């Protein structure tokens, strides 16, 4: 019966192409706007590490001024990063299965003069676990190992664009690259990689692209690498050397992540952090009440407000816009269906129940919803492609399977909302009156 | 087949009440061919609508095939209309978008029959009304008489016990009217009960009984015309091809 109803719907829609075009255009416009904005929101809100995000944790500790909390709406706000000195202590823990400290810097790259002139590039300083913890994709080689961290070995991982720029896109593993005053051996080349949210560094531009170059973090003291990202501090220091800067226990500029696969490990690590802070309190640090946060990736994305409230509001308004488009069709569909009252009366006389007549007309509305929805999705693909080009940072925003399913669902709902009243009216019309009028 | 007792049907508006049927009582035996006659506004069509479960009534009792159909749900009434009652209308009431085959198919769709069963019934009934070669035609491509034959094929395909015909020849010339009446005769002779509303004395003369209606009541003027049961070679073929 469903196929029969779809056939009747197709005949009905072909009968009046202008009205059909109007119906489809309204649904297409509503679906285009709603899909575009819900996809924008979804791109920032979706889980960037499916299956793993609940095991990867970001560590924060409140080492701020005892006189006032870290600036923020919440009185329990705490600095978003930790100090280099604290990071060194936390790295000693054996509870996490993986852990990495991170910070961003800008260093000079000096390529072969025949290939390119020296230039400054964004460099991510990290430990070896960074690559496996965050599922960083490689096309050649891999990340370095823990031995390379410890020594540290002069190894580097470069991204696809850098590999194309400096090595013509060939497998450059084993080749060398001069960064500042040192020569590094390439051990890995990333595959093209542009997550919508730079989920491993939410503190300094969560929508920025990943960095071009990755170096072992232990080169920080050796090369005196300074952070190119945000730093926070409240205490007045007199710093005369880079070593003193690294030792400044209350200047926060390091992001710190740990992988804790089990609830037991998660609890043990939280206890470890609390005990570390309590111990530091004995040395006159961490004077504020105990306020540590060990949050998994999705909680951290929430804490850093990666999904702007404006984006959520716009997504909600766009769905309301679809509702308005859909409600505007009620009058059109009512006129269309009531004009068909004689045919419906004949069907009723021949044995169609009210339910069957209702279903026939709802199916027609759903056919409009689905076709209009498909057109709307195509439009939305185009709009998002355009937005990707014009938005700063070339943030990739694509309609994924979840958004396609959501658009199909919204199309069906829109069709139903538009058609439920007209379909109810036509199915409750007494057939005898129309038969008499014919 | 049909037993109505003291049926009352009132159409109400804010200003007036119209008593369309007033103590309307009628008994029709299975296999009868009854002609309902009366002037315009006498309640003939209202009676057909009530008899065909297309309209409700205010009081009285109505037994259809020995079943009380006074208080049935919409789906039960629809099922009875679909399986037991066939309608033939003055203006044919074919669906203009559907070709002949699909028009005949409409009641069978609501019965949930298999595709092969529906095809067999449709081809059989179109054959009987002499339109099997026109199955692809749209109603607009057919003459009035052919359209009415399609409407009758639609009824035949459903094989109902009761046919309600509302002035089936009202829009046809006399030649076509005779063809249609011949067809109804054939259908009746295989045992199908027919109740036909008509203004035409010639058509009424083909029925086995005339019932006169005036002011929503049956007048006491009934008279049998011919024997109820008949069988002819044509109708025997008709019956066997549909069963």
Nearest CA to CA, how far is A348 from chain B (Å)? 7
Res. B237: pLDDT tops 50: no
Chain B's closest residue to A3, CA to CA, is: B109
Smallest CA–CA separation between B109 and chain A, in Å? 7
For residues A364 and A358, give the distance between their C-alpha atoms in angstroms, rounded to a whole number: 10
pLDDT computed for residue B220 by the predictor: 66
* Res A387: pLDDT: 85
- Residues B110, A1: Cα–Cα separation, whole Å: 8
Please list every residue in chain A whose beta carbon sits closer than 8 Å to the beta carbon of residue B106. Answer: 346-347, 350
Give the model's pLDDT for residue B230. 42
> Sorting pLDDT into bands at 50, 70 and 90, what band is A436?
low
Interface of B with A (CB under 8 A): 45, 49, 52, 54-55, 74-75, 78-79, 81-83, 87, 89, 91, 93-98, 106-107, 109-112, 154, 158
CA distance B181 to chain A (A): 21
Count, residues in chain B:
243
Nearest CB to B97 within list A1, A15, A356: A15
d(CA A165, CA A97): 36
Q: Which of A13, A349, A434 is the best substitution to test chain B (most B C-beta atoms within 10 A)?
A: A349
Distance from CA of B226 to the nearest CA of A (A): 30
B71-125 tens-digit pLDDT: 889 999 999 999 999 999 888 899 998 999 999 999 999 998 999 999 999 999 9
Contact B195, B220 (CB under 8 A): no
What residues in A contact B97, CB-CB < 8 Å?
Answer: 11-12, 15
Which helix (H) or strand (E) is B88 found in, with range? strand B85-88
Say yes or no for a CB contact (<8 Å) between A12 and B95: no
Q: Which residue has the higher pLDDT, B90 or A183?
A: A183
Q: How far is B172 from chain A, CA to nearest CA, in Å? A: 16
pLDDT, mean of residues A151-176: 96
Q: Which of B49, B96, B110 sits opposite A356 (nearest CB)?
A: B110
**Where residue B175 falls among pLDDT bands split at 50, 70, 90?**
confident
Do residue A351 and residue B89 have CB atoms under 8 angstroms apart?
Answer: no
* pLDDT 10s digits, B45-67: 899 999 999 988 999 999 998 89
Nearest by CB to residue B111, choosing from A351, A354, A435, is A351
Which pLDDT tens digit goes with each residue over A43-71? Answer: 888 899 999 999 999 999 999 999 889 98
Asked if A438's CB is within 8 angstroms of B91's CB, the reply is yes
* Residue scoring higher pLDDT (B228 or A219): A219
Q: Which residue would you say has higher pLDDT here, A259 or B38?
A: A259
Query: What are the tens digits of pLDDT across the range A309-353?
Result: 888 899 999 999 999 999 999 999 999 999 999 999 999 999 999
Per-residue pLDDT, B66: 87
pLDDT of residue A311: 84
- Distance (Å, whole) CA A248 – CA A276: 17
For the segment A162-182, the average pLDDT, to the nearest whole number, is: 95
The pLDDT confidence band at residue A377, using thresholds 50, 70 and 90, is very high
Nearest to A201 by CA among A272, A96, A125: A125
In chain A, whose CA is at the least distance from the CA of B54?
A: A432
Q: What is the mean pLDDT of chain A?
A: 92
What whole-number percentage of chain B has pLDDT above 70? 90
What does the alpha-carbon distance between residue B211 and residue B93 come to, in Å, rounded to a whole number? 25
Cα-Cα end-to-end distance for chain B: 20
- The mean per-residue pLDDT over the stretch A392-402 comes to 80
* Phi (first) and psi of residue B109, to 5 degrees: -60, -45
Phi, psi dihedrals of residue A161, rounded to the nearest 5°: -65, -40
Q: Which of A1, A342, A351 sits opposite B82 (nearest CB)?
A: A351
- What residues in B contact A1, CB-CB < 8 Å? 109, 112
Give B83→chain A minimum CA distance, Å.
Answer: 8
Name the pLDDT band for A72 (thresholds 50, 70, 90). Answer: confident
What confidence score (pLDDT) does residue A396 get?
78
Contact A38, A399 (CB under 8 A): no
Contact residues, chain B, for A343 at CB < 8 Å? 95-96
Residue A178, SS3 per DSSP:
strand
Selected for mutation to probe chain A from B9, B106, B113, B170 (highest A CB count within 10 Å) is: B106
How confident is the model over A117-147, as pLDDT tens digits? Answer: 999 999 999 999 999 999 999 999 999 999 9
Give yes or no for residue B243 having a pLDDT over 70. Answer: no
**% chain A with pLDDT above 90:** 78
**What tokens appear for B178 in the block?**
């005779």
Q: Is the pLDDT of residue A420 over 80?
A: yes
pLDDT band at B225 (very low <50, low <70, confident <90, very high): low
- Full-model pTM: 0.76
- Work out the minimum CA distance from B97 to partner chain A, whole angstroms: 7
Tens digits of residue pLDDT in B131-158: 989 899 999 999 988 999 999 999 999 8
Task: Residue A353: list chain B partners with CB under 8 A.
Answer: 74-75, 78-79, 110
Q: pLDDT-derived band of residue B242, with 50, 70 and 90 as boundaries?
A: very low
Q: Which of B80, B54, B82 is nearest to B65 (CA)?
A: B80
Nearest by CB to residue A349, choosing from B54, B79, B109, is B54
Residues of chain A in contact with residue B83, where contact means CB-CB under 8 angstroms, are 351
Q: Which pLDDT score is estimated for B224? A: 56
Which residues in chain B touch residue A352, judged by CB atoms under 8 angstroms apart? Answer: 78, 82, 110
**Averaged over A400-407, what is the pLDDT?**
92
pLDDT surpassing 90 at residue B171? no
Contact in structure between A202 and A305 (CB atoms under 8 Å):
no
**In the prediction, which pLDDT does A102 show?**
96
pLDDT average, residue stretch B190-203: 91
Q: How far apart are CA A341 and CA A49, in angstroms?
A: 55
Token reading at A389: 């080009």
* More confident call, A392 vs B242: A392
């Amino acid at each position: 019966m469903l196929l029969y109803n779809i056939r009747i719907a197709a005949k009905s829609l072909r009968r009046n192409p202008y009205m059909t075009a109007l119906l489809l255009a309204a649904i297409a416009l509503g679906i285009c706007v709603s899909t575009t904005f819900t996809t924008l929101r979804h791109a920032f809100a979706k889980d960037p590490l499916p299956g793993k995000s609940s095991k990867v944790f970001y560590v924060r500790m409140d080492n701020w001024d005892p006189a006032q909390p870290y600036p923020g709406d919440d009185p329990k706000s705490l600095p978003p990063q930790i100090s280099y000195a604290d990071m060194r202590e936390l790295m000693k823990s054996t509870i996490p299965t993986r852990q990495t400290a991170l910070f961003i810097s800008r260093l000079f790259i000096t390529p072969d003069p025949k290939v390119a002139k020296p230039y400054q590039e964004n460099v991510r300083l990290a430990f070896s676990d960074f690559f496996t913890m965050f599922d960083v994709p490689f096309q050649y080689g891999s990340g370095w190992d823990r031995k390379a961290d410890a020594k540290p070995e002069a190894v580097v991982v470069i991204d696809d664009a850098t590999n194309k720029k400096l090595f013509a896109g060939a497998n450059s593993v084993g080749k060398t690259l001069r960064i500042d005053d040192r020569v590094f051996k390439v051990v890995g080349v990333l595959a093209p990689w542009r997550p919508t949210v730079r989920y491993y560094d939410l503190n300094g531009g969560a929508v920025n692209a990943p960095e071009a170059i990755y170096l072992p973090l232990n080169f920080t003291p050796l090369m005196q690498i300074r952070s190119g990202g945000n730093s926070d501090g409240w205490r007045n220091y007199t710093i005369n050397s880079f070593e003193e800067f690294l030792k400044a226990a209350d200047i926060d500029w390091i992001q710190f992540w740990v992988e804790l696969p089990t609830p037991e490990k998660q609890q043990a690590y939280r206890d470890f952090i609390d005990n570390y802070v309590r111990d530091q309190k004995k040395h006159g640090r961490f004077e504020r009440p105990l306020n540590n946060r060990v949050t998994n990736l999705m909680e951290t994305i929430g804490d850093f407000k990666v999904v702007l409230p404006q984006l959520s509001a716009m997504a909600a308004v766009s769905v309301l816009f679809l509702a308005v488009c859909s409600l505007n069709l009620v009058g059109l569909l009512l006129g269309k269906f009531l004009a068909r009252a004689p045919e419906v009366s004949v069907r009723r006389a021949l044995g169609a129940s009210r339910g069957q007549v209702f279903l026939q007309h709802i199916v027609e509305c759903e056919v409009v919803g689905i076709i209009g929805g498909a057109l709307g999705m195509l439009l939305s693909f185009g709009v998002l492609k355009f937005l990707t080009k014009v938005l700063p940072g070339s943030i990739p925003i694509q309609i994924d399977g979840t958004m396609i399913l959501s658009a199909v669902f919204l199309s069906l709902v829109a069709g139903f909302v538009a058609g439920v009243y007209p379909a109810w009216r036509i199915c409750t019309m007494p057939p005898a009156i129309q038969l008499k009028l014919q | 087949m049909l037993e109505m007792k003291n049926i009352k049907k009132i159409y109400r508006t804010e200003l007036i009440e119209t008593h369309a049927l007033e103590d309307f009582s009628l008994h029709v035996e299975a296999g009868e061919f009854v002609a309902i006659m009366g002037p315009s506004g006498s309640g003939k069509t209202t009676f057909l609508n009530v008899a065909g479960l297309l309209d409700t009534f205010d009081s009285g009792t109505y037994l259809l095939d020995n079943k009380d159909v006074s208080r049935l749900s919409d789906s039960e009434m629809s099922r009875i209309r679909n399986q037991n009652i066939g309608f033939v209308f003055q203006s044919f009431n074919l669906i203009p978008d559907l070709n002949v085959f699909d028009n005949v198919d409409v009641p069978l769709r609501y019965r949930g029959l298999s595709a092969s069963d529906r095809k067999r019934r449709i081809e059989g009934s179109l054959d009987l009304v002499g339109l099997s070669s026109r199955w692809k035609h749209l109603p607009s491509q057919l003459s009035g008489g052919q359209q009415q034959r399609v409407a009758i094929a639609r009824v035949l395909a459903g094989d109902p016990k009761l046919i309600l015909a509302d002035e089936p020849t009202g829009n046809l010339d006399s030649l076509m009217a005779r063809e249609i009446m011949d067809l109804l005769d054939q259908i009746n002779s295989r045992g199908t009960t027919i109740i036909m509303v008509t203004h035409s004395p010639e058509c009424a003369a083909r029925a086995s009984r005339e019932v006169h209606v005036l002011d929503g009541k049956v007048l006491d003027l009934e008279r049998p015309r011919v024997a109820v049961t008949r069988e002819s070679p044509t109708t025997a073929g008709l019956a066997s091809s549909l069963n």
